[in-house]
A and B are shown apart, each in its own frame.
Chain A
Amino acid sequence: MAEQTLDCLGEACPVPLVRTQKALAGLAVGDVLIVQIDHSCAMKNIPEWADKEGHNFEIDEVETGRWEIVIEKAH
């Protein structure tokens, strides 16, 4: 199970979501993608998309206004 980090710091919507979708598409089932964001909208639309697609995810508040969304590719 590979783990990949995607740096989306300083990027505004919808760029983090589109980059997440592209990055996850290149991973194998069971792999983990860690998306780093500092844009609060991305904290909403990335988990919403992951939930809709059926991937498990976890939101980690790393520091004030900065988050990591950990997504496990389910299919």
Chain B
Amino acid sequence: MTNLSSTTGRDANAAGSGGLRNNAVFKDLFVNPWTYVTGAVILALLNIALIASTGKGWGVTTAFAYWAGWIWNGVGGDAHNWAYFTEVAKAFNGEGFNFLTDPASIMNLGIIAGAFLSVLLASQARFKGLKSGKQAVAAILGGLLMGFGARLAFGCNIGALFTALPSLSGQGWVFIVFIFLGAAVGSRLLVKYFI
């Protein structure tokens, strides 16, 4: 098995004819994917730093529910009495709680900025159009199901799994069993109906 070559780009400019892109250290840091172990250790250290500084573990999608609530309030609605905010994510009704004082909202912006920086450093940034109407429908449907599911499960695979497991929460173990079941069903549906 030979990987014949990985630098036979037809467009010399695109492949990079020298400089940083061919520097081995730069490539390992910014171009090639990190190993799972490297990623895991960095995520663990960052989560420890996050719990130490904010008192809460990492979560992503609860902030989306806050955003929806703020938008709803912004257009004249009243989300303060929604059961989700009075019973589950009570921080929403806390004194002085807004986009800027919610660490998870700021971190979500950081994820987007960081992901963008990462593709820029790897020279892999490009605008991608939608391939088909089918892809658009699948993306919207998938997003709605994931968002709705994450609210029912009181968290997504970050809050209810990544943060729950090291916090010794039983929720994470229930979540991991069903994420495997869901993935097994989902991949069969994907291959059968989408590809």
Contacts and interface: CB of A to CB of B under 8 A. Distances in A.
A10 B130 contact: yes
A40 to B, nearest CB: 6
A17 to B, nearest CB: 10
Nearest to B31: A40
A73 B154 CA distance: 47
B128 A10 contact: yes
Interface in A41-61: 44, 47, 51, 54-61
Contacts of B190: 14-15, 18
Given A10-B131, A58-B8, A62-B9, 4 more contacts: A9-B131, A47-B3, A59-B3, A65-B126
A11 B131 contact: yes
A10 B135 contact: yes
Given A19-B195, A47-B3, A56-B1, A62 B126 contact: no
B5 interface: yes
B195 A15 contact: yes
Contacts of B122: 40
25 contacts: A9-B131, A10-B129, A10-B130, A10-B131, A11-B135, A14-B187, A15-B190, A15-B194, A15-B195, A18-B195, A40-B33, A56-B2, A56-B4, A57-B4, A59-B5, A59-B6, A60-B10, A61-B15, A63-B9, A63-B11, A64-B124, A64-B126, A65-B123, A65-B124, A66-B126
A55 B3 CA distance: 10
Interface of B: 1-11, 14-15, 33, 119, 122-126, 128-131, 135, 187, 190-191, 194-195
Interface residues of A, number: 26
Contacts of A40: 33, 122, 124
Interface of A: 9-11, 14-15, 18-19, 22, 38, 40, 44, 47, 51, 54-66
A61 B7 contact: yes
Contacts of A61: 6-7, 9, 14-15
Contacts of B126: 38, 64-66
Given A10-B135, A60-B9, A65-B123, A51 B3 contact: yes
